[in-house]
Every structure is written in C-alpha cells, then in structure tokens.
A and B are shown apart, each in its own frame.
Chain A
Amino acid sequence: MFKGFSLVAFLCAAILGIASGNAATISGAGATFPYPIYAKWADAYKVKTGVALNYQSIGSGGGIKQIEDKTVDFGASDMPLKPEDLDKAGLMQFPMVMGGVVPVVNIKGINAGDMKLTPQVLANIYLGKITKWNDAAITTLNPGLTLPDTAINVVHRSDGSGTTFIFTHYLSQVSADWKAQVGENTSVEWPAGVGGKGNEGVAAYTKQLDGSIGYVEYAYALQNKLANTLLQNSAGKFVSPTSESFQAAAANADWEHAPGLYLLLTNQPGDKSWPITGATFILMYKSQDKPDVAAEVLKFFNWCYLNGGDMAAQLDYVPMPKNVVELVRGLWTNEIKGSDGKPIFHATVADGGK
C-alpha cells in the first residue's frame, strides 16, 4: 500500500516537474549545415532566458516544406527561395550565418593549401572530362607539385543538400558546359563519381579513396584535417578558404539591392573573396498568426546576431557582418506583422533598451 502511494506521488511530481519546465519553446526545422551553431546558440539562450529552441535538422527541402505547412515557427534553408516563391507563400527570408564550401583532395604528398585549381578545371573534373591527376590542365596550374598518373575519384553528395546547391550554382556560373549538362539544385544527376551521405559521408570517402576530390563545408575540412585546395576567384587571385576570405565575399555582396534578400554569395567580386561562399537562411511568415511566438523567435535571432559571433567563430562558422544585421533588423520591423498589422519586432525593446 505504501509502495502504491509512493508510486502515485512520484508520478505526480514527475508530471508537475515536466509541466513546470515548459516555459516558452520555439520550433524550427531545416538545413543540416547550421545545426551545430543553432544548437549551441539555443543552449546559451536557454540558460539566459529560459526559452528553448527545438530544431530538427532534416535538410533544406524539409525545412521549406515544414514552414509552408506551418508546422514549425521558422524554416531554415541553405538554398534561398526566389522572390516570386516567397511572395506566393507569404514568406520572408534573412541570412543567419555563412560558411564556405571547400574542395578537398586526398593525394599522397599534397597538403592543405598546396594545390591550385581554376573554376573551369574544377567543373571539368566534376563533369568527368578530366580523368587523371597528371592531366595537362592541372599540371600547368601546379608546376611545383608531382601529380601521380592515377584516376581522379570524384566524390559528391548522395542526399539532397544546400551544400550541393551552393556548389552546383557556382559551377553553373563558371562553366557553360556544367550549366547545360547538369544544372544546379540541392540534388543533381552527377556525371561522375560516388555519393556520400552528408558532409560526413563525403569527408569519409575522400579520406579513404586515394586520389579523390570532394566538396565539404569549411568546418568539416578543418575538423577532418582534409587537404583543401586554393581556388581562383573572379578577380583572378588564388585564395585560401578562411574566415577572412568568406567575410570578404560577404562584405562585397550587395544585400540592399537584392529583392527578398535572394543573394547567392558565390563568385563575388573582390581580391580576397572566396568564390564558393554561401549563407544559410531563415524563413518566416510576414503575417504572423501567433505574434507572441513570433516575437520570441525574433528575440532569439536578434540575440544570436548581437551575441553569437564568438560561438559561431569557435565552430568555424562566419557571422554576418554588421551592415547586414542592421538591414535585417529593419526588415523585421517593416515586414513581419501580427494580424493587427502592427510590427512585432521592436529594436530598442529587444536590445534591452540599448
């Protein structure tokens, strides 16, 4: 009898405990690339304010689908929606963090930053037109390296991903053959190579197959100690993928004149710009049915913009530059409104009066 009573008491306490732990929760879904930094920001934000973020990293396509079905408070996508699609759905988008897509190679004796590639050579390798490492096109760019007479093992993504979109968009910009034959999307029909699942899969295959080339997010190249290549940007300079070169690409970008903030950061002008940079976007409805929830979401992202830079740098992400942050905050005030037509985000209030 005492056992039964203590069981009931325990259950009551557990239920009350769970119920009281439910302060506000905001939910989001989408891109896998920014998941580590979103999770880190959410942890820190919860400690500070008690508001929890529930983010499911199911991929950019999944994020777009879920926000269109209104099952989450915000969607996350590495591929921005075109202005017409945004208007049709009543959504607005803004960039949250940036990253670079980096070609990595696995050849004996080649270390990080040794090999130079031009956009056309990279496209031709992925088209299957250049099949050996000691092809004239590659050796003329790298006179100081001894390249073996082995086949190039091309590695790409097998799942649909924003990283692929950024990479194929860049290749479509720099190679007319690529644009005609393959095109750009989160998932394409690759002319050559093997597909790995996720950035992790591509990194794993690249590490294991001798003479392979793959493309991964900057963070994965660093953490897996893969040998990245230098790439020639639109200014003709060979640049190395670093935080600075990603920020250089973003700074030269003209966000103000991009309708719907649809801007892809590939092939941006500037001597120091890394050519395959991309931002990851957040999608929210312009007219909010639940203004309190929307206010919490915007407060969270505002906090991330103002306080999340160091955490992002620790995880090898690149925070948005200040001018873009101000632009986005203005858009929040002007575009995201409750059902009464009043803006939800108040800059001064959210800053805590700053």
Chain B
Amino acid sequence: MTALDTTNGTLSQGFRTQQIADRAFRGLTFLCAVIVLLTLGAILVALAWGSLPAFRAFHFDFFTRSVWNPVTVQFGAVAAIYGTLTTSAIAILIGVPVSFGIALFLSELAPLWLRRPIGTAIELLAAVPSIIYGMWGLFVFAPFFARHYQPWMSAHLGPIPVIGQLFQGPPLGIGIFTAGLILAIMIVPFISSVIRDVFQTVPAVMRESAYSIGCSTWEVVWNILLPYTRTSIIGAIMLGLGRALGETMAVTFVIGNAHKISASLFTPGATISSTIANEFTEAVGDVYYSSLIALGLTLFIVTMTVLTLAKLMLLRLELRLRG
C-alpha cells in the first residue's frame, strides 16, 4: 500500500474516499439488517402489549379452552389453533408429494420442449391472488366436491376403524378438508419450483455415473438426487408450511367459520387468521379486541417455533452428513 502513498496527492485522496465509501456502504447494509430485526422485535412487543388484557382476564386458560363467546366475553384459542395446525398439516401432506412429483417430472422425465411451458404454468399458480383462490374454492370447488367426492369418501373411508372418523361428516363441501386442499394448491408452486431448481444443481456427473452403471430413474432419484438435496428440500417444505400457516383470505372463504373442534375433517372449523380477519373490525370491548391480538401473538409464536424446529432439524441433518 506504500506504493500508493506517492507524492501524487490525488491517488491517496482517491484511496481515502474509497475507504470512506466502503465503510459507509457497510454501515448502510448493516443498518438495513438491523432495521429488519428491530421491526420484528417491535411487532413482537406490540402484540405482547396488546394481548395483556386478555391474559390478565383468562391467564393460561386462553390456551386450553375452545370457547369463543363474545356475549359472555369468554375466549379460548384452542379451536383456532387446532384449525390452523390441521389445515396446514393437510396442505403439507397433499402438497409435498405433488410438488415433488412435479419437480421430478420437470427435471428428469419431461421432454425438453415441454419443460418450459409447464414450468411457467406452475409458477403462474403462485401469481394468483389468494382471495381468488378463496372465491374459486367457495363457488366452484366446494359444490363440486360436495356433490361428487364427499359422499364417496364418507361411504368408503368412513367405516375404516381408526381413521374413519376423520371422514364421517355431512357433504357440505366447505370445511377443514377443503381449506387444506386449497392451501395445498397454493403452496405447490413454491415448493415445486425450489425443489426443481435444487434438482438441477446436482452435478451432472453424479447423475450420469448412476445411469451408466444401470440404475433406474427411480433409483437415481431416491438414492442420488434426494440425499444430495435433502436440506434444501426441507427448506422448501418449511417455506410452504410458513405460507400455509398464515394464509388468510382463501381459508376464510371455505372453512365455514365455526369455533369447534370435532373429529371429522368434513366439518367447518376456524383458523387463527380467519378468526382475526372475520372479527377484528367489529370487535367492541377491550377483552375481545385483546383476545384477537393474543391470537395473532399465538400465530407468531407457532410460526417461529415451526421454523426454528425446521432449522434445528436441518442442522442435525447437516452434522450427520458431515460426520
């Protein structure tokens, strides 16, 4: 660097400006990162502050009761939490295999000329606003489902001893199962595009060596591609799960909005976000208002917990792979 400190004043001047510019840029980007963290913290604090009246009134019972009665001002979050977790679980159970299949098809099996149109079509699904999904679900899918599939499912799956209870219910068309299905359709584009991208990062040499020793396509996928991309796939699933947990409008239209827990998936239920969306603008009274904010806090905590658990699982997988 002494070479730059010549008698030529402008050179060292330029170097100093560069140093200042560098430091300023570092500070600016650090500030951006800190602002995001501060906003997250501020949201958490605001939610906690807003929920205090509810917790003062109900203490921990808020998380153990399923009553939701604005007249007697008694609120419990269990029904909403149950609905959120159940619809998201259904969305993941249905959406992940489908996304996996789509990604596999597009990266391994489809002829080259077909890949881009189908890929674009799947990605366009992600661009559809969620309220359109809700309207489509309510006006098109729910009656179709109620008339053609639900009676069949109740009749054939209902009598099965243990899980049959999940499918016994009136053919309403709307309910927890329909909401889960619509969520599955919504998260498929996200998960499938990440999995597809990740499949394409697997080095060609690994694929080709496997094929050359006579592996079938399925063996290549299951034994070569998946282990290589395991962590990213789990990351993609977590992305989809995060979307499913928080989705509001699509679920509000088709879930039927009944604050009850029942064994059947065909009955109406309620999720945290649908409860807040339905009742927030008209909530009169401190405890009612604060109970809705407490629900929001619950969703925040549930989402954070799920994502943290996912990160921990990924960490353990990575350690196991390395050691």
Contact = CB atoms under 8 A, between A and B. Distances in A.
B256 A195 contact: yes
A243 B69 CA distance: 34
B97 interface: no
A193 B267 CA distance: 9
Interface stretch (B19-27, B200-208, B276-284, B308-316): B276-284
Interface stretch (B108-116, B138-146, B219-227): B138-146
With most chain B CB atoms within 10 A of its CB, the pick from A60, A158, A190, A201 is: A158
Contacts, number: 87
Nearest to A211: B170
Interface in A129-187: 151, 153, 158-161, 182-187
B259 interface: yes
Contact of A160 (B69, B139, B281): B281
Contacts of A183: 71-72
B68 interface: yes
A164 B71 CA distance: 12
B278 A185 contact: no
B173 to A, nearest CB: 7
B268 interface: yes
Given A194-B256, A205-B174, A208-B142, A187 B281 contact: no
Contacts of B281: 58-59, 61-62, 159-160
A209 B147 CA distance: 10
B172 interface: yes
B101 interface: no
Contact of A59 (B70, B139, B253, B282): B282
Interface string B248-288: 00001100111100000000100000100111011110000
Contacts of A190: 258
B85 interface: no
Nearest to A153: B172
B238 interface: no
B94 interface: no
Given A204-B139, A208-B173, A189 B282 contact: no
A249 B154 CA distance: 47
A197 interface: yes
A184 B72 CA distance: 10
A64 B284 contact: yes
Interface string B64-84: 000111111000000000000
Given A59-B282, A160-B281, A194-B258, A189 B172 contact: no
Contacts of A153: 170, 172
Given A190-B258, A204-B139, A208-B143, A151 B282 contact: no
B71 A182 contact: yes
A172 to B, nearest CB: 10
Contacts of B69: 188-189
Interface residues of A, number: 32
Interface string A60-76: 11101100000000000
Nearest to A159: B278
A309 interface: no
Contact of B257 (A60, A65, A196, A209): A196
A197 B253 contact: yes
A195 B71 contact: no
A63 to B, nearest CB: 9
Nearest to B259: A189
Nearest to A209: B172
B265 to A, nearest CB: 14
Given A189-B67, A189-B259, A194-B256, A204 B282 contact: no
Nearest to B73: A185
Contacts of B268: 194-195
Contact of B278 (A65, A151, A158, A184): A158
A61 B152 CA distance: 43
Contacts of B146: 208-209
A189 B70 contact: yes
With most chain B CB atoms within 10 A of its CB, the pick from A58, A189, A201, A205 is: A189
A160 B282 contact: yes
Interface string A89-113: 0000000000000000000000000
Contact of A61 (B170, B277, B284): B284
B170 A195 contact: no
Nearest to A56: B281
Contacts of B282: 58-62, 159-161, 186-187
Contacts of A185: 70-71
B54 to A, nearest CB: 16
Nearest to A196: B257
Given A62-B281, A65-B284, A208-B173, A194 B71 contact: no
Nearest to B134: A197
B272 to A, nearest CB: 14
Given A190-B258, A204-B138, A195 B70 contact: no
Nearest to B174: A194
A158 B71 contact: no
A160 B283 contact: yes
8 contacts: A160-B279, A160-B282, A188-B69, A189-B70, A189-B259, A193-B258, A204-B139, A208-B139
List 7 A-B pairs, minimum CB-CB distance, nearest first: A160-B282, A195-B257, A158-B257, A61-B282, A59-B282, A183-B71, A194-B256
Given A61-B281, A193-B258, A208-B146, 14 more contacts: A59-B282, A61-B283, A158-B278, A160-B70, A183-B72, A188-B71, A189-B68, A194-B174, A194-B256, A196-B257, A204-B138, A208-B139, A209-B146, A209-B173
Interface of A: 58-62, 64-65, 151, 153, 158-161, 182-190, 193-197, 201, 204-205, 208-209
